Chain A
Amino acid sequence: MALKHVNAVVIGAGAGGGIVAKELATAGLSVVLLERGKWQTAFDCRKDDLRNQRTWVLGNAFGPDEDRNPRVFVDLEGRERVVTPSDNSYNNNAACVGGGTFSYGAMAWRFMEQDFRMRSTYGSVEGSTLDDWPVSYQDLEPYYEKAEWEIGVSGDDSNNIFRAPRRRPLPMPPLPPNREYQILKPAALRLGLHPFDLQMLRNTVPYNGRGPCMRCRWCVGFACEVDAKNGTHNTVIPKALATGNCELRTESVVKEILVDSRGRAKAVAYFDANNRLQEQTADLVVVSCSANESARLLLNSKSRLFPAGLGNRYDWVGRNLQGHGYCGSIGLFDFETFDDAGPGPGIAICDFNHGNKGFISGGLLTNEFIRLPYQFSKMAAPGVPHWGAAHKQYVRQYYPRHMVIMGPVQELPVFDARIQVDPKVKDYWGIPVGRLSGYRHPNDMIVAKFLSQKAAAWLKEAGATTTFNFLPWKGLSGGQHQAGTCRMGDDPRTSVVDKYCRVHDVDNLYVIDGSVHVTNGGFNPVLTIMAIAYHASEHLVNSWRGTHVA
């Protein structure tokens, strides 16, 4: 039996898709929200420190499942291999209702004004497709605000002199400082830095009908046991369903987007929870599968009119894949720095996001989420053995006496860092899988070295007796912060979607997620994905002229 025609199909119930579904359903459109993962609860994760979205040695907890979702990864030497989601090279982002927002650390950054004008700020860069966004910070400001109030953000960035102007303060105050914060703040001030209270999508007081953070140590990578971490799964998606206009179908794996003879999207072919192929017709199709899977879906949607896949007339789909290489420093102290007050990070600086001398871009720095004991066992200082009695003594002594300061490098987009569709390997459903290949721009490592030195200096000022730095790996970057593969732009020859996230040559097809980011900021990208989703949704609703089906 054919499925009932709807106004819109939204593919992917993550940060972008959840918001779009809610905005469209609230405006009265009938919506089907397809999600390949499940609707999980905190009970499905239960603070498993070896199986979560941060540490996946025993598997990833939030999908996609290990057995049915391979990818092909091509390393810097050109060797290719098939990888599963719990392999680092897979560059996984969680597949469940809420997407990454279900288990993330929930830092809630607005990008800075320069982050939308990288080409204007730094000029053209060899080896990079660096460009300006077609929207400005000012265009997105009201939508950042909407995300902060509707999803729920706590913190206080009033001491951040580098921030872009905001009209409204955040709806919730920051968490009380933990011991790390108390040690790091005076040290930052002595160094002339400008520390402030980190913003997070986290309840610190009762908000939206849910209670505050209980400050446990299992935050980033875990589902929140008390539902104080705000994602789309506990805010906009329930609202969308409550309108009665939105139906959520989980465990639905989309195969391709079908077009009609005029080249408009007409339906989505997907495998339902029982692995039966279904066809859902709709007036609008919104792709919100995050950078890797959105590009894969467009590339897999081949037809006579679009032989290279949808939106791919000029070969831009899947390119400019970027994420965030993390860098920073670990400091050892001769006094206790650990007070077990989660989530851990609370103090941040934006002194080094822009305006650095001799290179392009930069990134924020903040103290890290609580390191669980297994994670710390991997943080042996130089000269400390990696096993044996001395290693054990090191863990015992420094677990409660260490701090980590780190931050994401704003990466320069590279045309050859990309996801394609593999010609041979298929997933469980017979759909060609993503094939990742490419490299970083050399500027990334320069930024990483610089930022990690600044992190080390901050730790030393705070009293660290030893510091040692870490840098991102040299290969392709596109993990949980994956972005860039369906770039937004005014010129259809050098971008995939317009500034409202509409695919240039298919007027009822949208990509609304991190894929559209031209550049990814020196910040966690989720709040920007949310702002873009509100911005695009408003345009969608305003331009809605009713169904095409009588």
Chain B
Amino acid sequence: MEPAYKLSRRKFLEAAVLATAAAGTSVACGRTGSPWRFFTVDEARTLAAACDQIIPADDAPGAAWAGVVNFMDRQLCGPYRRLQDSYRYGVAGLNKSSRLLYGGDFALLPATKQIELLTFMEKGKAPREAWQKISSSEFFGMLADHTMQGFYGDPRHGGNRDRASWKMVGLAYPMIRGRFKYDLTKG
């Protein structure tokens, strides 16, 4: 059992985090100088571009709009804490591959080149020197899976903004009786 002062301090911190997140300057997960919990501004921009090719916008929103990067950022300070190094290395590898192949950062490439590079990664054929610690296909597999989770999963985890994917597949909301028993906006 934790002493009472510790609980109240944690509660206070949670409240503080929520307040700062709302204000756009989160401090959770130990990072400063970025509006994100874990990512740097550049990492988040790179990931938004990559996710948006994994689930692109059409007449329904794409992954970036749906908040998939926010989902990843949040989980990397929670259940996916163990994957922090993989993400840090993988996003750097993605940009390094992009510079080696196309001479520029991934987020600035035209869509066709972005898709081409992601396809290389999926097949494990991205430039070897950018992927010494983990393979590009391993990172891509993880990125694609987490993008699906953030886009198709419950909005409470920070993605699927406005239940965009659920609307897309025709799942009405609220669906049937009993749905308002809990406050689903809390994580």
Contact of A215 among B78, B156, B176, B181 (CB under 8 A): B176
Residue B30, interface by CB 8 Å: no
A114-155 contact mask (Cβ, 8 Å, vs B): 1 or 0: 000000000000000000000000000000000000000000
* Interface residues as binary, A385-399 with B (CB distance below 8 Å gives 1, 0 otherwise): 011110111011001
Q: B144 near A217 (CB under 8 angstroms)? A: no
Among B145, B166, B181, B184, the residue within 8 A (CB) of A373 is: B166
Is the pair B56, A48 in contact by a Cβ cutoff of 8 Å? no
Please tell me if the beta carbons of A378 and B148 are within 8 angstroms of each other in the complex.
yes
Q: Across the interface, which residues of A come within 8 angstroms of B168, CB to CB?
A: 395-396
* Interface residue tally on A, bucketed by range: 35 or more
B-contacting residues, A315-369, CB 8 Å: 338, 340
Q: How far apart sit A49 and B165, CA to CA, in the bound complex (Å)?
A: 14
A49 and chain B: residue at smallest CB distance: B154
Q: Please give, as numbers and ranges, the residues of chain B lying within 8 Å of A51 by CB-CB distance.
A: 79
Judge whether A305 is part of the interface by a CB distance below 8 angstroms.
Answer: no
Contact flag A59-B79 (CB < 8 Å), given A215-B176, A373-B169, A396-B168: yes
- Does A214 belong to the interface (CB within 8 Å)? yes
Contact B56 A57 (CB under 8 A): no
A388 and B53 within 8 A (CB): yes
Complexed CA–CA distance, A216 and B176 (Å): 7
A473 close to B (CB within 8 Å): no
Distance in Å from the Cβ of B106 to the closest Cβ of chain A? 16
Q: With CB as the reference atom, state the residue of chain A lying closest to B143.
A: A387
Tell me the minimal C-beta distance from B61 to chain A in angstroms. 10
B154 to A, closest residue via Cβ: A49
Q: Assess the B175–A225 pair: CB atoms within 8 A.
A: no
Q: How far is the CA of A340 from the CA of B171 in the complex (A)?
A: 8
Least CB separation from B182: chain A residue: A46
- B27 to chain A minimum Cβ distance, whole angstroms, is 23
- A interface footprint on B173-187 (CB within 8 Å = 1, 0 otherwise): 001111101101000
Q: Which residue from B56, B58, B153 sits with its C-beta under 8 Å from A50?
A: B153
Contact assessment for B181 and A340 in the assembled complex, using a CB-CB cutoff below 8 Å: no
Is there an interface contact between A400 and B170, defined as CB atoms closer than 8 Å?
yes
Interface 0/1 of B34-58, CB less than 8 Å to A = 0000000000000000000111101
Q: Which residues of A contact B176 (CB under 8 A)?
A: 214-216, 340
Residues of chain A within 8 A of B79, CB atoms compared: 51, 57-59
User: Are B153 and A399 in contact, CB atoms less than 8 angstroms apart?
Assistant: no
CB contact between B178 and one of A214, A373, A377, A387 (< 8 Å): that residue:
A214
Asked whether any CB of chain A lies closer than 8 Å to the CB of B92, the reply is: no
Q: Are A389 and B178 in contact (CB under 8 A)?
A: no
B96 within 8 A of A: no
Q: CA–CA, A376 to B1, complex, Å?
A: 41
Indicate if the CB atoms of B58 and A225 lie closer than 8 Å. Answer: no
Is there a chain A Cβ closer than 8 Å to B157's Cβ? yes
Asked whether B77 is an interface residue with its Cβ less than 8 Å from the other chain, the reply is no
Q: Does B75 contact A (CB under 8 A)?
A: yes
A3 to B60, CA, bound (A): 62
A47 at the interface (CB under 8 A from B): yes
Pairwise interchain contact A373-B165, C-beta atoms closer than 8 A: yes
* Chain A window 28-57, contacts with chain B (Cβ cutoff 8 Å), 1 for yes, 0 for no: 000000000000000100111111000001
Instruction: List B residues 100-118 near A (Cβ within 8 Å).
Output: 115, 118
**In the complex, which residues of chain B have a beta carbon less than 8 angstroms from the beta carbon of A226?**
178
A residues less than 8 Å from B178 (CB atoms): 214, 216, 225-226
Q: Which of A50, A274, A393 contacts B154 (CB 8 A)?
A: A50
| A373 & B152 in contact (Cβ 8 Å cutoff) | yes
Chain B residues lying within 8 Å of A544, measured Cβ to Cβ, are: none
Q: A214-B177, A389-B56 are known contacts. Are A58 and B157 too (CB-CB below 8 A)?
A: yes
Chain B residues within an 8 Å CB radius of A391: 55
* Residue B25, interface by CB 8 Å: no
Taken together as a complex, chains A and B put the C-alpha atoms of A107 and B145 apart, in Å, by: 30
From A46, A50, A400, contact of B169 by CB (8 A): A400
Contacts of B95 in A (CB 8 A): none
Contact A374 B177 (CB under 8 A): no
Given known contacts A216-B175, A374-B148, A392 and B154 CB-to-CB distance under 8 angstroms: no
Instruction: Please tell me the size bucket of the interface on B.
Output: 35 or more
A83 nearest CB across to chain B (Å):
13
A57 to B157, CA, bound (A): 12
Residue of A nearest to B145 (CB): A57
Bound-state Cα–Cα, A374 to B152, Å: 5
Closest to B159 in A: A50
Q: A46-B184, A50-B157 are in contact. Are A386 and B144 (CB under 8 A)?
A: yes
Q: Which residues of B have CB within 8 Å of A215?
A: 176
Cβ–Cβ contact B53 & A374, under 8 A = no
Query: Is A225 touching B154 in the complex (CB atoms < 8 A)?
Result: no
* B52 CB to nearest chain A CB (Å): 11
Residues of chain A within 8 A (CB-CB) of B153 are 49-50, 373-374
Residue B149 lies at the interface, judged by CB distance under 8 Å to chain A: yes
- A 193-236 contacts with B by CB, 8 A: 214-217, 225-226
Nearest Cβ on chain A to B138's Cβ, whole angstroms: 14
- List which B114-168 residues lie within 8 A (CB) of chain A: 115, 118, 122, 144-145, 147-149, 151-154, 156-157, 165-166, 168
With a CB–CB cut-off of 8 A, which chain A residues contact B182? Answer: 43, 46-47
Residues from 389 to 421 in A contacting B, C-beta threshold 8 Å: 389, 391-393, 395-396, 399-400
For A43, give the chain B residue with the smallest CB separation.
B182
A residues in contact with B54, CB < 8 Å: 387-388
The smallest beta-carbon distance between B114 and chain A, in angstroms, is: 11
A residues within 8 A CB of B157? 50, 58
Q: Can you name the residue of chain B whose Cβ is closest to the Cβ of A400?
A: B170
Contact A374 B184 (CB under 8 A): no
Tell me the minimal C-beta distance from B109 to chain A in angstroms. 15
In the complex, what distance in Å separates the CA atom of A48 from the CA atom of B1? 27
A264 CB, min distance to chain B CBs, angstroms = 37
Least Cβ–Cβ distance between B1 and chain A, in angstroms: 8
B156→A396 contact, CB < 8 A: no
A47/B154 in contact, CB under 8 A: yes
Q: Are B55 and A387 in contact (CB under 8 A)?
A: yes
Residues of A within 8 A of B145 (CB): 57
11 more CB-based (< 8 A) A-B contacts, given A58-B75, A216-B179, A400-B169: A50-B149, A57-B79, A58-B157, A216-B176, A217-B175, A225-B178, A340-B171, A340-B172, A340-B175, A374-B152, A399-B170
Q: Can you pick out 28 interface pairs between chain A and chain B where the beta carbons lie within 8 Å of each other?
A: A46-B184, A47-B184, A48-B154, A48-B156, A49-B154, A50-B149, A51-B79, A57-B145, A57-B149, A58-B80, A58-B157, A214-B177, A214-B178, A215-B176, A216-B175, A216-B179, A217-B175, A225-B181, A274-B1, A373-B165, A374-B152, A377-B152, A387-B118, A387-B122, A392-B58, A392-B60, A395-B165, A396-B169
Shortest Cβ-Cβ A-B pairs, 4 listed: A399-B169, A373-B152, A374-B152, A387-B54
